[in-house]
Amino acid sequence: MKGLQNIYHHSYTFSFLLVFLVLILFHPALSIYVNTLSSSESLTISSNRTLVSHGGVFELGFFKPLGRSRWYLGIWYKKVSQKTYAWVANRDSPLSNSIGTLKISGNNLVLLGQSNNTVWSTNLTRENVRSPVIAELLPNGNFVMRYSSNKDSSGFLWQSFDFPTDTLLPDMKLGYDLKTGRNRILTSWRSSDDPSSGNTTYKIDTQRGLPEFILNQGRYEMQRSGPWNGMEFSGIPEVQGLNYMVYNYTENSEEISYTFHMTNQSIYSRLTVSDYTLNRLTWIPPSRAWSMFWTLPTDVCDPLYLCGSYSYCDLITSPNCNCIRGFVPKNPQQWDLRDGTQGCVRTTQMSCSGDGFLRLNNMNLPDTKTATVDRIIDVKKCEERCLSDCNCTSFAIADVRNGGLGCVFWTGELVEIRKFAVGGQDLYVRLNAADLDFSSDEKRHRTGKIIGWSIGVSVMLILSVLVLCFWKRRQKQAKAYVVGMKNFVEMEKV
């Protein structure tokens, strides 16, 4: 009997352990994931082993696009049912067959192919290894290499976040690291099933007067962000903070970069560049698919050079290209054919004395190639500073927060301007004094309003007088009628 009890006890214990093991292995909240690779370990295609970040959001391993015979080392979202890749190591050096090994060699990560030839490497300068080196997939999707004794991000020997492919993840920086000279850019896949570098890129351009992010198709500039105004990029009003997402732009002696942070970690969001477009995609559980939050280019006014110098694009007007007040079409015939690429010219040249400014609201600021900035000037002195330079054609506030600080100044022609229904910022365009007062359109508009108001008031007065006269006449008639009736009654009594 005691033996049966022992058997039952052991059987019960085994069953309990088995159930517990199944729960650990298959329940997402309880699963134990391996997220590190030591110098004595390796990942191979044949083993099908992967690294999974703490929390189980990201997974690193080998993959083969559908219908392709090439293999890649990459990172994808583990919890999203729709297979979504965030990073590819050897995008332009694929493995030609299913022979591939990822391992640590000295202080480098190396990807070996057939015959142990190096297909991809972190390519760090060799140095004396102070302590064991490990590779780790972090919860935010960053694949890093570090000394096992140092978990501080400043001590990373290498990180995938410094070498983005087509996707910007939360807390990942896009832009220049001025200390290393590295420009972190996004480059599209060649096609939906080919991770190799495509023709569309999104990167920061520091060769302008002010840094701006540019969406390029090859050498052709498709869309630009406009300069950062302290709250948003003037050319992308869609990029505004949400209750679950915070944007950040940094410009100092060490870096010029953009990043975003998720305050709600259960929501996934990514910025991805694909052929001809830049997309903000968001996945909110329990959704089974990514939602398109916004995309660029968005409309007919997004492409650059649609409207030429001193003109701006406005979606609500027809045609979309409009000359700034004080300017007329450079080529009226083409303008009449709704071709605004040649832009507009001044009706009266600037005099360099007595000029003033026309304020345009909700604008994407002009291209900053000819712009300069003074970040500490009092905004009240912006107009004075611009007027003191005969070549200054326009200015805008550099940082619009807290009443404004600093100014952006343009010299030369103003190009690539558009007007938004909401967003953008004020642009002050310099005009000759003769054109400031003119506003033939504005004058006609005001005159028309005055005339209309005067006519309306006059008509109302005339109608009021006529109604009053008619009313008095009716009153007299009614009074006469009453008197007549009284007299008639009196006569009948007699």
pLDDT in tens, the chain (494 residues): 545 455 445 555 545 545 444 444 444 444 468 999 999 999 999 999 999 999 999 999 999 998 888 999 999 999 898 899 999 999 999 999 999 999 999 889 999 998 899 999 998 876 666 678 999 999 999 999 998 877 766 679 999 999 999 999 999 999 999 999 999 999 999 999 999 999 999 999 988 888 899 999 998 999 999 888 888 888 887 766 578 888 889 999 999 999 999 999 999 999 999 999 999 999 988 888 899 988 999 899 988 889 999 999 999 999 999 999 999 999 999 999 999 999 999 999 998 888 999 999 999 999 998 899 999 998 889 999 999 999 999 999 999 988 899 999 999 899 999 999 988 999 999 999 999 874 444 444 444 444 555 555 565 667 666 656 655 665 665 555 444 544 544 554 44
Whole-number pLDDT of residue 237: 78
Cβ neighbors of 246 (< 8 A, separation 6 or more) are 260, 261, 263
DSSP 8-state secondary structure symbol assigned to residue 63: E
Cβ neighbors of 63 (< 8 A, separation 6 or more) are 71, 72, 74, 76, 85
Q: How far apart, in Å, are the Cα atoms of 211 and each of 24, 43, 173, 208, 251? A: 50, 41, 15, 6, 9
Closest CA to 276 of 339, 185, 194, 189: 189
Burial of 3 (0-12, 13-18, 19+ CB in 10 A): exposed
Whole-number pLDDT of residue 15: 53
Whole-number pLDDT of residue 140: 96
58-62 contact pairs (CB < 8 A, 24+): 58/86, 58/137, 58/139, 58/140, 58/141, 59/137, 60/137, 60/143, 62/95, 62/100
Exposure string of 143-170, with b = 16+ CB inside 10 Å and e = fewer, is bbbbbeeeeeeeebbbbbbeebbbbbbb
Whole-number pLDDT of residue 481: 45
Q: What does 144-172 look like in DSSP terms, one character per residue?
A: EEEETT---GGG-SEEGGGS--SEE-TT-
Whole-number pLDDT of residue 471: 57
Whole-number pLDDT of residue 54: 95
CA–CA dist 363, 419 (Å, integer): 5
Cβ atoms 327, 347 nearer than 8 A: yes
Judged by DSSP in three states, 368 sits in helix
CA–CA dist 26, 56 (Å, integer): 12
CA–CA dist 37, 451 (Å, integer): 81
Whole-number pLDDT of residue 238: 72
Q: Are strands 417-419 and 344-346 parallel, antiparallel or unpaired?
A: unpaired
Q: For residue 14, what is the enclosing H or E element?
A: helix 2-26
Whole-number pLDDT of residue 197: 97
Cβ neighbors of 234 (< 8 A, separation 6 or more) are 225, 226, 227, 363, 364, 365, 423, 424, 425
Q: 328 - beta bridge partners?
A: 345
CA Rg value for the chain: 35
Residue 320: count of CB within 10 angstroms of its CB: 20
What pTM was estimated for this model as a whole? Answer: 0.79
Whole-number pLDDT of residue 387: 94
Whole-number pLDDT of residue 365: 93
